Amino acid sequence: MEHFSVRCSLGTTTDSRDLAEGRWNVETVALVRPAHFVIIKFAHTMQTS
């Protein structure tokens, strides 16, 4: 059985300053086994022209 959650919303992982700078933050939490978690955080930066 796999258990995980993904958060990527304004006010939770991303704020207005991040958006103004073209960045979107994502956080993933995965349950590996009872009481053991893996947390992965990454940011996607929009390409500027």
**pLDDT tens-digit profile, the chain (49 residues):** 468 899 999 999 999 999 999 999 999 999 888 888 899 999 989 877 6
Its domain, for residue 7, covers: 3-45
Q: Is 20 helix (H, G, I), strand (E, B) or coil?
A: helix
Is-above-0.85 flag for pTM? no
Query: How many domains, in total, are found in the chain?
Result: 1
Residue 7's CB is within 10 A of a number of other CB atoms, namely 13
> Are 1 and 33 spatial neighbours (Cβ–Cβ below 8 Å)?
no
